[in-house]
Structure 1
């Protein structure tokens, strides 16, 4: 028995030892697996898998397909992974983050600042803009047609047409390079002119060259060659523009130029010694210097055509508005006298001609012109300005006009004084008339009030009289009514009594006598139900004495009945 117990204990110890060794081995195995077969990917990383075994891939490729040895195309996101370190290796890479930007930080750059800061028509916004991710495939063969832009699923090397919008992406850095560019932001009041970067170019066309000189004269205008607007699939500027908004475009496929639409103001100031000053000789031989302000702009429908021909809005000023403004002022201004530029009517006429002529020229180039306003005018003699103490032509003309206007002003002042005197007289008359009308009104009011009170008193007295008369009539009617009612009641009582007496008399006559009438009355009022008969046998006289009245009455009834049943004519 002891031997068996010892054997059982020995077996138990062996089992415990075996379990302990197994647990230790399992723990070591799990630790080794956790160290060499486990990988943790943080939230800002991705995992690139590298196969250590498999079929060798072609030398021209850098990314292996499933089942091939090398860097795999697919990646894994953040998390925990177990893998076979004998067949696989891995590498942590950064996630690609495309920022959405912050619209609250965007600031506008106004037109005047933009022209002085970025004459090439660059970005007109400042702030934290959204980004767009440009994918560049590093692996694969070049495209057969030689284009640098390829599709995402083509596996060709080059710029991928599709872009990455704001977000977080797992991009294999061995397959793609990500280049971040700012997205296109078109603010309100602007449009985006699109230019295709790939495709075939359209043929050149000839257009009038406004830089070569005046295009309003009768002489044939010079021309220049430009490329027309591109159609779908062609390289060049597209006719359709982008309205205000945010656009995620690939700059390798389409470039966008932000263009301001609507009206802008441009001022050509007259500066001494400046070559841009508008100066021309007048018909009378005096030199005229003008300062002109032009309000011009672009329509969204024609923005693409203008940018395609001139490049940007600054070139529109330099190549169209400025040269044509000087040319029109010289051509049209030489037809006017120096005096005309100082007089109001002729100066306004020259301004209208300048505006209309410049508008016609700008319309040929799809440019909108609202007006051309002359701000300053200076008149100079060919020999130079007047010496000190002398009066020049402009001052002389202005003084003559001032004298005329002063005389007209004095005349108007005299007329005004007369009108004021008449006005004061009219005011006095109005005051007198007002007082007269008020007095007459008060008198009329008093008369009307007195008449009304008198009429009211008369009406009240007549009313009381009529009331008294009606009350008297009512009293007479009431008395007559009482008399008639009393007389009627007396007649009714008399007639009723007479009718009753006549009825009784007729009844007595019919019955024959008053005794018969009495018996008739007794019989009529007799109630047989009240008769009680008692049989007492042969009683005494005194016993039946109480019924003697009834017996007498019955005897009288028998006699009366006998008389009624007797033949007519018998007594």
Structure 2
């Protein structure tokens, strides 16, 4: 395209230049012949020729852009086909290289590309889109035919198919640029295994097993695999792997659902019964159970085959063999029925577990013996049951009586325990109160003792102080008495004389004036009381000391001092 545009652009100015030169030549010739075109007119003519040339070049460039552009949008691819080049061989279905004619292996993804339309042709197609919850399977349309018995395409190191057939693996949800001339993409649903199921895997494309008589084969061999798939979603190629669901949940089946489940008794009576068997497929042996009991007419489901092939035959066999060992009337009794029920469940488990079937529960719900023997036996059994019921009632009443006695004893013991508890509680409380009171009394006694000791100490102190004061007073009195005694001794032991002396001494200095009208006045009577004894003493004594004369100098000083005090008192 660039070469084409460049040629167009270059041709425009070249032609313009020629025209200019022609114009210029014409002008010169015109000048030579009569002026012709002027030089300015030649340049205008050249510019007029250049504008159409540029416009033509732009148009040609746009056309070249459009015819060479490959615009691959989002979610699309472009498949290229070469028109010219090396010829293909008769066995080639697609160009082996970019130099050969035909459809190319390489694709153009999103973007803009430029190709020569003379050499290439192209086709823009949408990419393969796998939605969520789906998967894609690629089928190779080119290459050599697969070998006999094979349908899988062989792939190289890059993962590209080199032969025709189904490409191993799957395309998960997403968008893929797949060449529609090389591959065909089929959309399938992934394998979903619900909860409680197991997925039995069958390999459809591996080599045949070396030992074809085995139930299960190894993972690298064709056939049913040992390993099963757990519940969930699995993206597996349906042409390579087939997955069959095996229900491993608990299932119930009634023995009398299809026909009469009965057997002849030991005495020849027909005994009918009904029961319920709860079973499930062992999850670890799901593949073995599927191979053993699957039938093509029932499809992938094996529940009916398990019931018809395993459950019912073993149940009929046990009932007929074990039931024929007992008489018809024995099946009315509860003991025989219980033993029959227990043996039935045990035998069903032993027979079914080796085959991969787990018996969860096997119950005989109903046993119907013939009416000819059922009615009398039933009445007898009813009588026995009533007898047992009455005995049970007697035992119950005795038990109730014992229970009442024991209950009364328990209540009595509880009352005794309660009373003893109250006594202990009261005793404990009294002891605690006594202890508290004793503690308080001891505390008060100690306090009183301390107070008594303090009082005794204080009394002794008071007594000591009183004794000291008394001693002081006594000593003072004794000292004073000693003085008086000495003074009395000065009057020859005559106290009366000493008293008059003291009185006269006090009065002699205290009198200021005395007004006495008669000799009978009270004052004179007082003085008379002192004169009469003096007269008596003066007559009886020869050497009497004068009343005004002190016995000793010390006594005189004391008398004078006493007279002063008396004088003051009298003056007052």
Shorter-chain TM-score: what band? 0.5 to 0.7
Number of the residue aligned with 2:237: 250
Q: What is the alpha-carbon distance in structure 1 between the residues aligned to residue 454 and residue 88 of structure 2?
A: 138
- Please name the residue that 1:265 is paired with: 251
Native 8 Å contact 1:202 1:230 kept in 2: no
- Could you tell me whether the CA contact under 8 Å between 1:229 and 1:236 is conserved in 2? yes
1:97-136, aligned counterparts within 5 Å? 97-101=129-133, 131-136=134-139
Q: Which of 54, 58, 83 does residue 27 from structure 1 map onto? A: 58
Which of 209, 220, 231 is the matching residue for 1:233? 220
Looking at structure 2, the residues matched to 188 and 167 of structure 1 have their Cα atoms a distance apart, in angstroms, of 27
Secondary structure of the structure 2 residue equivalent to 1:280: strand
CA distance in structure 1 between the partners assigned to 2:376 and 2:139 by the alignment: 73
Does the 8 A contact of 2:251 with 2:278 survive in 1? yes
Aligned residue for 1:313? 302
Shift of 1:340: 4.0
Map 1:190-229 → 2, pairs under 5 A: 190-198=197-205, 199-203=207-211, 205=213, 227-229=214-216
- Mapping of residues 455-534 of structure 1, within 5 Å: 455-465=438-448, 467-468=450-451
Using the size of structure 1 for normalisation, the TM-score is 0.64
2:72 aligned with 1:41, yes or no? yes
- The Cα shift of 1:344 comes to 3.5
Partners of 2:131 and 2:392 in 1: CA distance: 71
Structure 2: distance between partners of 1:394 and 1:177: 78
Instruction: Look at both structures and tell me which one has the larger radius of gyration over its CA atoms.
Output: 2
In the alignment, does 2:93 pair up with 1:62?
A: yes
What is the deviation of 1:257?
1.2
SS of the aligned residue for 1:456 comes to helix
Q: CA deviation at 1:194?
A: 0.9
1:59 CA displacement:
2.6
The higher relative CO (CA closer than 8 Å, separation ≥ 6) is in 1
Give, in whole Å, the separation in 1 of the partners of 2:456 and 2:321. Answer: 115
Q: Which runs of 4+ in 1 moved over 6 A?
A: 469-475
Aligned-partner Cα distance in 1 for 2:438–2:452? 21
Residue 427 of structure 1: how far off its partner (Å): 5.7
- Rate the CA distance shift 1:81–1:414 in 2: closer, same or farther, 3 A: same
More helix by share: 2
Equivalent residue, structure 2, for 1:138: 141
Aligned CA distance change for structure 1 residues 474 and 64 (closer, same or farther; 3 Å): farther
Mark the CA change 1:467 to 1:333 in structure 2 (over 3 Å): closer, same or farther: farther
Larger fraction in strand = 1
Structure 1 residues 153-195: Cα deviation after superposition (integer angstroms, max 9, x where no partner): 3411111122212211111222111111111222333221111
1:335 aligns with 325
Shift of 1:319: 1.0
> Is 1:94 the counterpart of 2:97 in the alignment?
no
Distance 1:400 1:44, change over 3 A: farther
Counterpart Cα distance in 2 of 1:302 and 1:250: 24
* 2:281/2:357 contact within 8 Å kept: yes
Whether 1:367 and 2:367 are equivalent positions in the alignment is: no
Q: Which residue of 2 aligns with 1:290?
A: 273
Question: CA 1:64 to 1:474, structure 2 compared with 1: closer, same or farther past 3 Å?
Answer: farther
Separation (CA, whole Å) in 1 of partners of 2:453 and 2:173? 106
Q: Distance in 2 between matches of 1:345 and 1:163?
A: 63
Contact 1:270-1:289 at 8 Å conserved across structures: no
Aligned to 1:229, the other structure's residue is in SS state coil
CA contact (8 A) 2:153 2:166 kept: yes
What is the distance in 1 between the residues matched to 2:242 and 2:282? 20
Aligned: 1:299 with 2:282: yes
Q: Are the counterparts in 1 of residues 329 and 374 from structure 2 also a CA contact under 8 Å?
A: no
Q: Secondary structure at the match of 2:312?
A: helix
Specify the SS of the correspondent of 2:168: strand
Provide TM-score, normalisation by structure 2. Answer: 0.64
Q: Distance in 1 between matches of 2:212 and 2:102?
A: 51
Which secondary structure does the structure 1 equivalent of 2:337 belong to?
helix
- From 167, 171, 176, the equivalent of 1:164 is 171
Cα deviation digits, residues 127-175 of structure 1 (max 9, x gap): xxxx221111122221245411123334111111222122111112221
Aligned 8 A contact 1:202 1:235 in 2: no
CA-CA distance at 1:228 after TM superposition: 2.2
Q: Which runs of 5+ in 1 are unaligned?
A: 102-130, 206-226, 476-571
Residue 163 of structure 1 aligns to a residue whose secondary structure is: coil
User: Take 1:473 and 1:55, find their aligned partners in 2: how far apart are those partners?
Assistant: 151
Distance 1:398 1:24 in 2: 121
Match of 1:326 in 2: 316
TM-align CA RMSD: 3.3
Identify unmatched segments of 5+ residues in structure 2: 1-34, 295-300, 459-572
Partner of 1:85: 117
Once residues 270 and 415 of structure 1 are traced to their aligned partners in structure 2, the CA distance between those partners, rounded to angstroms, is 46
Measure the CA separation in 2 of the matches of 1:55 and 1:394. 104
Aligned 1:532-543 pairs, distance under 5 A: none
- CA gap 1:393/1:11 in 2 versus in 1, 3 angstroms: farther
Answer yes or no: is 1:413 the counterpart of 2:396.
Answer: yes
